[in-house]
Structure 1
Amino acid sequence: MPAAYVQYSYLGLFWNAANLLICFVQSMTRGHFTVKCTYFLILTELCCVCFHLSRKPISIVKSELHKNCSHVMEAPSESSSSQQPVLHPELDCSWKPFDRNNYKQLLGAMDYSFLCAYAIGMYLSGIIGERLPIRLYLTVGMLTSGLFTCLFGLGYVYDVHSLGFYIFVQVANGLVQTTGWPSVVTCIGNWFGKGRRGLIMGLWNSHTSVGNILGSLIAGYYVSSNWGLSFIVPGVIIAAMGVICFLFLIEHPNDLKIASAQSSASSNQVVVVKSEAEPSAISFMGALRIPGVVEFSLCLLFAKLVSYTFLFWLPLYITKAAHLDAKKAGDLSTLFDVGGIVGGILAGVLSDKMGKRATTCAVMLLLAAPTLYGFSMMSQFGLGPTIGMLLVCGGLVNGPYALITTAVSADLGTHKSLKGNARALSTVTAIIDGTGSVGAAVGPLLAGLLSAQGWDQVFYMLMTADFLALLVKLHLDNFKGDFLSI
């Protein structure tokens, strides 16, 4: 059996230490596969929470980048109250270059630069990820993501007012964040069979909403006093989690045995063994030919368009519609993600019970469109109705999105046409999520353009996207084949 040897070095020592830690995990959970699965789910959940946590601050900080500079503040004065108020622009002024009248377009361009880079990078990330150790690939992605997230916040610290700087950071961060999703979904597919994927991944996919909630709370805590920390703190968190991931992530249940064998080898070298019988990675076109991949990719495009428009624009909408400050709007927007947690779990449970993932998505999409219209109407009638509609919208919008990106991707990546080749999972996941990310890029951009004509136009766009996603689902029902049960 061919083997490659890495000479003793600090990297080799670090790799050996990581394998010893994995062996420690094995010894602590010996004979308890359920405990090992729980450990794995918690670790990957935390990794994904950190990815989403680091994406959220931009939506909270938007209202701070462009304040209401026409607000008039009165300076303390011993003169009569009839004296004209004094404007203090240094106390209530926007952050250049977002102080212009086209600030919505500039903020939308930042969203678009991140999401467009994410969408393009995702197609490449899955192909690269299948050819590299997942643990190392994921770690590098988390460390670099932490770096670029912190860089955005350092723009405040060093008084940077260049739009090009912020666009560059967003593009770079979008590219490196593509390492996350294909890696963790591949690991999930390795650990769990198809029968209970809906429930397990519905619970596990709560990381999206949990990350958004934590990101909102962290960013909201600092946004009014020092918005740079709204980025720096999440950046440090995801980088630290990257180190933990490298030390403790177990890619496959079989890796426990491999790590045990490697730990008994000489401490001066790391042995990397490649099996001659290992299946080759699937090609991009080969993944596209898997039944259902194209259809679910298009459906996710429209579903993610809606979800990410809420992600990036909901706090600003609440600020304008409910006349709340940035912190309160950010806190209130977390209710959309709370509803998303419930919706993701409910979608997973229903799809497992019925054995029809496409049907489950179709029903939730059918209900989501009129609910979005209801939210645009009810948000004008006070805080109570707004809270209720945020919860319902979050569940119906994020339910199909969560189901497609997790259970459906894993099912398609282990489709019987692959004849047991599990190495297709990363590429299939990347194709589906990459196509969805095209919608995620287009949605916030359109929202930035349409909001200039009124927020009603934005909600009409969101409802149209939901109906288009539903049409793609109905197209699936016209086919005969085993992927109808997906």
Structure 2
Amino acid sequence: MAQDIDVRDAGARGEPRAQPARTGIAELQQKAGAFAFAVGKYRWSICFILFLAATINYVDRQIIGVLKPDLSKLYGWTEKDYGNIVFWFQVAYAIGMVSMGWLLDKIGTKRGFAVAASVWGLAATGHVLATSALGFKLARFGLGLGEAGMFPAAVKVIAQWFPKRERAFAMGLFNSGTNVGAIVTPLMLPIVVPVFGMGTAFVFSGVLALLWVGLWLAKFHPPDEHPSVTQREKDWIASDPAPVYPKIPWLRLLPWRQTWAYAIGKFLIDPIWWLYLFWVPGFLNQKHGLTLTKIGLPLVTIYLISDVGSIFGGWLSSTFIRHGWSINRARKTTMLICAGLVAPIVFASEAKSTWTAVVLIGLATAGHQGFSANLFTLTSDLFPTKAVGSVVGFGGMGGAIGGIFIAQAAGSILQAMGPSGYYVLLLLPPAAYVLAISIIHVLSPRLEPIRPQDLPEGPPQPAR
């Protein structure tokens, strides 16, 4: 049975009610510029809380990749064993992307995000109880289920709190937290693990997630109900309000080409990010002999470059729009530029110098993050706000399914070929991004938003 995304009584569940633009907002738009700090700044505080969530999420997620050589020695894992552990994380992530997206649309962003973060925090802490490959599969399954809620929630929050002209930049800032988490992890582990053991690292990251839940529940409210938001900032947020639709049956999202443009893009590029996240530490260990105490600086460098790419991708498309480009031209041009940054990674597997390999991988991760920031933003460009969580969830499921394939492929290739298998794996990224932007353009050549007549039940109601 199709699930309904109910937009009625939105305020009661923590969702925003569209507000009319107040008198003088056009003048504010002209005077305030692209990011309009003059009309208020609280929305950027919300963006910072999302940034913290992304940072903690990726600390939890990356610990196992950085510790892979040590865990493999301790528990006798083969490459195939490790691939299977990652596989079960991806299976849960795929399930969570649909279920968490539905949950967010059903009970509201505030409560839904709190549930997701609580699940992943408890699962991260539960890694300390794992003593076998099976135990780690169970812990990673719980982690994947909860962590899947972060991106659907964050995209919904950004759509609620930012006008379209600021969304890509806000998305880039939030998304940069994933890189910060990937930076913190290799710096933290060489300090924590030798003194307290590997289990403590998992507990520490899980507790951080649970502390974040408290911050989220205390600080988040819909913008039109938030006591710390000025009326001028509320007007700015509502300066390009979307119409409020009565109902959108969940399965009715599937026939839309816009849904598949996003989902196929995620299916193609997300596995590449998983490849970087879970296998680059092993690559640096096997190809360049880097151990836990030496791998920190190279990984930090990779993700610092990646962080710049995330912010750059959001900034570039927003700048293009500010200079009069259409959303279609700005988003796709930026994504094509980002795809170009990925191409040189094919030379990384044969690089003799560790730092040459690090720079090539860093450029590729930067390209991914810039591409990803714009791909996420397409959901709020193309869909009514209340459908964003489900669309992001469906696309995220596609990305997780792609991740399932890469987990099995990487484990099998490296098991069969040893370190030389990295040459095969690093041929995949350049093709994935070019194919993704090509399919997006074919399915949505003008990035047309969903029209009122496309909706299943009646015309949109005017924003109230």
Query: Same-fold call, TM > 0.5?
Result: yes
Structure 1 114/286 Cα, relative in aligned 2: closer, same or farther at 3 Å? same
What secondary structure does 2:165 align onto? coil
Alignment of 1:340-359 (within 5 A): 340-352=306-318, 353=320, 354=325, 355=327, 356=329, 357-359=331-333
For the 8 Å contact 1:147–1:235, the answer to whether it is kept is: yes
Task: State how far apart, in whole Å, the 2-side matches of 1:236 and 1:317 are.
Answer: 30
What secondary structure does 2:74 align onto? coil
Please state if 1:57 is matched with 2:36.
Answer: no
For the 8 Å contact 1:219–1:229, the answer to whether it is kept is: no
Alignment of 1:56-75 (within 5 A): 56-66=62-72
1:377 corresponding residue in structure 2:
350
Alignment of 1:291-370 (within 5 A): 291-352=257-318, 353=320, 354=325, 355=327, 356=329, 357-369=331-343
For the 8 Å contact 1:358–1:485, the answer to whether it is kept is: no
Q: Deviations over 1:175-225 (max 9, x none)?
A: 122222211211110111212322232222111101211233223333344
Q: CA deviation at 1:133?
A: 2.8
Q: Deviations over 1:396-450 (max 9, x none)?
A: 2332123213x22222333xxxxxxx21111111112221122233223321211
Q: Deviations over 1:222-259 (max 9, x none)?
A: 33441111211111111111111111122x21122699
Task: State how far apart, in whole Å, the 2-side matches of 1:477 and 1:259 are.
Answer: 38
Q: Deviations over 1:289-327 (max 9, x none)?
A: 444221222122221111111100111110111112123
1:267 corresponding residue in structure 2:
none
Q: CA deviation at 1:462?
A: 4.0
Please state if 1:150 is matched with 2:122.
Answer: no
What amino acid is the match of 1:376? S
Task: State how far apart, in whole Å, the 2-side matches of 1:217 and 1:109 are.
Answer: 26
Alignment of 1:162-177 (within 5 A): 162-177=132-147
1:248 corresponding residue in structure 2:
219
**How many matched pairs?**
396
Q: CA deviation at 1:281?
A: 5.0
Q: CA deviation at 1:394?
A: 2.1
For the 8 Å contact 1:150–1:236, the answer to whether it is kept is: yes
2:370 corresponding residue in structure 1:
399
Q: Specify which of 230, 238, 241 is matched with residue 201 of structure 2.
A: 230
Relative to the length of structure 1, the TM-score reads 0.75
1:113 corresponding residue in structure 2:
88
2:28 corresponding residue in structure 1:
none
Alignment gaps of 5+ in structure 2: 1-7, 15-36, 231-242, 451-464
Structure 1 446/358 Cα, relative in aligned 2: closer, same or farther at 3 Å? same
Please state if 1:185 is matched with 2:124.
Answer: no
Task: State how far apart, in whole Å, the 2-side matches of 1:233 and 1:404 are.
Answer: 32
Alignment gaps of 5+ in structure 1: 7-14, 16-30, 67-93, 261-276, 415-421
Structure 1 215/290 Cα, relative in aligned 2: closer, same or farther at 3 Å? farther
Hey, which of these two has a bigger chunk of helix by percent? 2
2:171 corresponding residue in structure 1:
201
2:395 corresponding residue in structure 1:
432
CA RMSD of superposed structures (Å): 2.9
Higher Rg of the two aligned structures: 1
Please state if 1:460 is matched with 2:463.
Answer: no
What secondary structure does 2:294 align onto? helix
Q: Deviations over 1:139-192 (max 9, x none)?
A: 22222211111110243xxxx3x3222211111221122222211211110111
Task: State how far apart, in whole Å, the 1-side matches of 2:244 and 2:448 are.
Answer: 30
Task: State how far apart, in whole Å, the 2-side matches of 1:475 and 1:32 are.
Answer: 39
Relative to the length of structure 2, the TM-score reads 0.78
What secondary structure does 1:131 align onto? helix
Identity of aligned residues (%): 20
Q: Specify which of 19, 36, 40 is matched with residue 34 of structure 1.
A: 40
